[in-house]
């Protein structure tokens, strides 16, 4: 089965998971590439820059609207249908597992702060954990859709 056939065979929610996962990954890459280059320039952990955060949020919102509009436009009535029983099970499992992903970098950040008292790093790690958690939720959804349930 070709890539085009595989994509055409996906349900609307699986396509949405792919779309949102890619959007959030691009946003995370954009945000952390800025933070890392600033940290290298400063020679220490960059402080939280509200401008980066706002740019990240604006990017995510605009890209999400575009991606979801395109997907909904091509999905027809499936886009308006509620999730069926299998899709609900997949969403529940993925949401549960992503909670663990949220905890790991967040706890790592707290441990790092308790040792180094680096509040800037704590901010970035907490922000990273939020991003990774959301991305992983879509990754888990895709894996479960591919597996069957």
Partner 1 sequence: MAKAPPITNRIRTLREAQGGMSQAALAEAIGVTRQTIIAIELGKYSPSLESAFRISRVFGLGIEDVFGWETPPGG
Residues interacting with partner 1, by CB under 8 A? Answer: 9-11, 14, 78, 81, 84-87, 145, 147-149
Nearer to partner 1, 8 or 58 (CB): 8
Task: Note the Cα 63 to chain centre separation in Å.
Answer: 13
Question: Could you give the CA distance from residue 104 to residue 100 in angstroms, rounded to a whole number?
Answer: 7
Question: Could you give the CA distance from residue 148 to residue 144 in angstroms, rounded to a whole number?
Answer: 6
Taking the complex as a whole, how short is the minimal distance between the CB of residue 76 and partner 1, in angstroms?
Answer: 12
Nearer to partner 1, 15 or 124 (CB): 15
Taking the complex as a whole, how short is the minimal distance between the CB of residue 6 and partner 1, in angstroms?
Answer: 12
Taking the complex as a whole, how short is the minimal distance between the CB of residue 9 and partner 1, in angstroms?
Answer: 8
Nearer to partner 1, 110 or 149 (CB): 149
CB 12 within 8 A of CB 78: yes
The set of residues, in sequence order, having a beta carbon less than 8 Å from that of 103 and lying 6+ positions away, is: 129
């Amino acid at each position: 089965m070709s890539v085009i056939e595989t994509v055409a065979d996906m349900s609307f929610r699986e396509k949405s998971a792919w779309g949102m996962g890619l959007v959030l990954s691009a946003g995370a890459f954009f945000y952390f590439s800025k933070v890392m280059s600033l940290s290298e320039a400063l020679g220490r952990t960059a402080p939280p820059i509200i401008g980066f955060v706002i740019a990240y949020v604006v990017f995510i919102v605009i890209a999400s609207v575009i991606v979801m509009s395109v997907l909904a436009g091509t999905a027809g009535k499936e886009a308006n249908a509620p999730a069926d029983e299998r899709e609900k099970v997949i969403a529940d499992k993925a949401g549960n597992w992503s909670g663990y992903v949220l905890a790991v970098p967040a706890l790592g950040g707290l441990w790092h702060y308790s040792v180094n008292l680096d509040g800037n790093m704590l901010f970035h790690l907490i922000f990273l954990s939020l991003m990774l958690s959301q991305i992983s939720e879509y990754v888990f959804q895709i894996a479960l859709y591919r597996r069957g349930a």
